[in-house]
Structure formats: structure tokens, C-alpha cells
Amino acid sequence: MKGEVITGSKAGITIAAMAAALMSVLDISIVNVALSDIRASFGTPLDQIAWVSTGYMMANVVVIPMTGWLQRRFGFRRYFTASILMFTAASVLCGLAWNLPSLVLFRILQGVGGGAIIPTSQAILFARYPQKEHGMAGALFGLGAVTGPLLGPTVGGMLIEVASWHWIFLINLPVGLFAAYMAWRHIEQEDFQPSTDRVDRWGIALLAVGMAALQFVLEEGTREDWFDSMKITVLAVIAGVALITFIVHELETPQPVVDLRVFANRSYAAATGVNFLIGTALFGGSFLFSLFCGTVMRYSALDIGLVFLKGSAIQLLLMPLIGRFGGKVDGRLLVGLGIIGMSFSLWTNGHLTSTADEAALITPVFIRACSMGFIFVPLSVMALSNLRPDQRGNAAGLFNLTRELGGSIGTAWMSSALNRLTKVNTTALSSHVDVYGQVTQEQLAGLKATVAARVTDPLAAAYGLMGQRINLQALVRAFNANFTVLTAIFACSLVLVVMLRRANPGVKVEGAH
């Protein structure tokens, strides 16, 4: 239908979508680098600073599934532009925040705008490009989406070093205003008629309560010791009841706020499953790798960002190439190769040691970057291309939500597993240390000789250093074990590849040029 087709300058729309996606994704990774400086600025306890990220994500996961309904209600042009302006205004308020509660409140507002940007950018590009060019549309969207995590840690580290943490938010102002202008100027929907569907109030309420509670449980579970905490237990029950009721309600109501019937499309359902596992492996793996570089290798935030930048820069070249020529190859083959490559990257991470050099650290990041280039573009094309134009907004929102949920689950799971396995390995390694054994005595003697001239009690210092060695080895073993588990879990996504259907290049999206 005409009202669901986008016209206007293809170049202008592409620039608007890419700029907005870049700004939104950049903000997620750039904030993580600044948490320590924000905590120091406000004098915030360590267990509360996570709300700067949690507040944003809670708003994000509530808004993302509703983007399709909101697009039909207000139109791509108005909804997308308003979301960008809300995100930009909230960014400025974040930069001017005077304490932690004000920053968290403004981050929630930022999440309301940011949650709409990614799926709407993707839906806009797929609606504007003809079917045969959906590979390029997916590549351009992916280029904006992957450049954010690529540049975020480095840009954040530089801004904090030369100015202050406030500028990681204020930098969004010129980008946001430019993206909003380009969107309003170039996005056109012929004969658009706002949806007259009644507002699904019950659906919105159940979704908001369920997703917010679930996100809180995933983000705070580790810090609250999971189900030993009454608060986490109660919220987990609320999330389960609300989301199950939401699913039943949405399948029964004739005008749902989130159309779950799109999962009847086999290719979309399989692609969404792969996307969920991508989120689990990608975010969980990046979380582990950043921690490994910081705790084991003792890298600074800027140094960690540079490792990611050097290893992932290949994506800037690879994404457009796959978008341009990937349509000539069966997308299922590309996704399969990408899954194998990313699994190998995680397996390589699982064999790092405390003596790894920079090349050893960059290698798995490089492999992962190449592999994601093979997965991201064809997977999004196969997920969305075979759907009707009026389904894509809703489907894009759910598609992106699954990756966010996978990332939240993967990060929370890896954080909890890392703490548990470190304790287990420390106990196991300590039990094999015989204080009176020859090897132990020789090592103690060597350590005593090393520190004798610098401390008053060389023996106590030697015992302390040996304990640090045991803890470090236990930590490295825990990292390796978690990367190995992620490898096995992600490799299972190969099973879903056989359910994917190749996009039909002969089918055209009505009205696209």
C-alpha cells in the first residue's frame, strides 16, 4: 500500500538513517567507558553507578517492540524525527545532570528516543530500497550500527582525557540535529493515513511492566546475588507473569500493539533465533574480553578501545562489499561461514593467557569483525525481505529486541559465571599448593629475593605475591572456560541456518525506487 512505502531522496534518507543509528549505538558503548569518571564526579557507590546503563536499557526494551505500532500511528517521518530530537534533547540534559538521580532520569528519556531509532532506521531503509537492493540497504544500516561500538570506547576515552565525561553526551547535539533535519527533509510517505486501530492499553501496560522487570533482573541480578534476593525473586515472577500474559493477549487481540504473528514466517523466526544467539555471544564475549584486558592485562580504557578499533576497522570496508556483492551468493552460506568464524574467534579468546601480546589480543577481535560482516547483512535481509511492507516496522523492532535481550542475558550470565568460576578455580589451585613442597619453597625463595630490598618482611610479601599469582591464574582459567561455553552455545545456531529462506530478488517492494 502507498502509505506504507517511503519515497524521497535515497541518499538523504540513507544519510539520516545511518547518522541516527551511529549516534544511538555510539552512545551505548561510549557511556561504559565513562562510568568510573561519572562515579567519581558524583561520589556514587560502585553498586549504584550501573543505573546509568540500566535506566537506558529498561526504556529501550520497552519501546523497541512498540516501534511498528508507533510507526503506523504517526508515520515514519514524524516518529523517526521526533525520536531523534528526543534522544538529542535528553543527551544535552544528561550532559548537564547535577547528580546521579537526575542523570538516570535523563538516561531513561534518552532510552525512550534511542529505542526507536535502530529498528526504525532499518525499516526505513528497507522500505526505501527496492527488493533487489536490500543487501545494500542492510549493509548501510549495519555500517552505521557497527561503527558505534567500534569507535565508542576510543572516542569516549579521548573526550574524557581532553575534557570531561559531560562531553560524551553533549557530542550528540550536532549529530542529532543534523540527522533530524535530514529525516524531516527527505522522508516522504505518499497518501499516509494514521492507523485508526484502537490503542492496546493492556498490551502496552503488560509489555512495559514485563520488560522493565526483566531488564532489571538481568542487570541487577549479579549484584543482588540473584534469587537469594527477595527483590530479584519478586521482579522475576512479575516479569514472567506479565510477559506470558502479554503473549497470550497479543495473539488473541485483533489489533495488537506488537504483532507476534510475524513469527509464523519460518525464515523470520529462524533469523530472530540466530540474532538472539548473536546478542548473547557478541555482548557477552565483548564484556568478557574488555574485562580480560582490564583485569588480567591491566590495559587502560583508552588502550582497550584501541584494541577494539584496530581489530574491528575491517568492518568499515567489509559491510559495503558484502552488501554490494553478497546477493550473488546464497545468504545462508554467508551466515553459516560467519557463525563458524565467530565461533572460532570465541574459541581463540578461550586460549588467551596473561602473557598475551597485543597481536594475540587483536587477532580474535579481527576474526570476529570479519565474521559479523558475513552474518549481519544477509541475516537481516533474509529476516525482513520476505515480509509484507506493513509488517517490517513491527518485525524490525522485534528482530532488534531479540539481540538486545540476548546481550542482556549473555552479559549477566557471563558476569555471574566469571565470579563463580574464579572462586572455584582459586580453591582448586590453592589445594594443590604444598607450602612445604620443594617447588613452592623454591618459588618463595625467588620471590623473597625479588622484594627483599623493598619491604621489611620479605616472607610475608612473597606469600602475598604467590597468592596474587594463584588468583590471576584462577581468573584466566575462568575467562577461558566462559569463552569456551560461549563458543559451544553460539555454534548451535548453525542448526537454525537450515531453516532460513533465501530472499527472492525478483520480488519488488511496491513503490520503492
User: Residue 88 has what pLDDT?
Assistant: 94
Q: Is 6 helix (H, G, I), strand (E, B) or coil?
A: strand
Asked if residue 511 has pLDDT above 70, the reply is no
User: Residue 506 has what pLDDT?
Assistant: 46
pTM equals: 0.76
Asked if residue 353 has pLDDT above 70, the reply is yes
Q: Of all residues in the chain, what percent carry a pLDDT higher than 70? A: 80
Instruction: Choose between 505 and 123: higher pLDDT.
Output: 123
Residue 286's identity, in one-letter code, is: S
Provide the sign of the torsion angle of the four alpha carbons 505, 507, 509, 513, taken in this order: positive
User: Residue 453 has what pLDDT?
Assistant: 64
Instruction: Choose between 328 and 178: higher pLDDT.
Output: 178
Asked if residue 482 has pLDDT above 90, the reply is yes
Q: What is the pLDDT of residues 41-95, one digit of tens each?
A: 887 765 566 677 777 877 877 787 777 778 778 888 888 999 999 999 999 999 9
Q: Across the strands, what pairs with 7?
A: 188
**DSSP 8-state symbol, 4:** G
User: Residue 433 has what pLDDT?
Assistant: 64
The four Cα atoms 445, 449, 450, 452 give a dihedral, to 10 degrees, of 120
Domains of the chain, first to last: 1-188 (1.20.1250.20), 259-513 (1.20.1250.20)
User: Residue 328 has what pLDDT?
Assistant: 75
Q: Of all residues in the chain, what percent carry a pLDDT higher than 90? A: 18
For the residues of 236-294, what is the DSSP string, one character each? HHHHHHHHHHHHHHHHHSSS-SS-GGGGGSHHHHHHHHHHHHHHHHHHHHHHHHHHIII
User: Residue 234 has what pLDDT?
Assistant: 92
Q: What is the pLDDT of residues 338-351, one digit of tens each?
A: 999 999 999 999 99
User: Residue 488 has what pLDDT?
Assistant: 93
* C-alpha cell of residue 317: 570496508
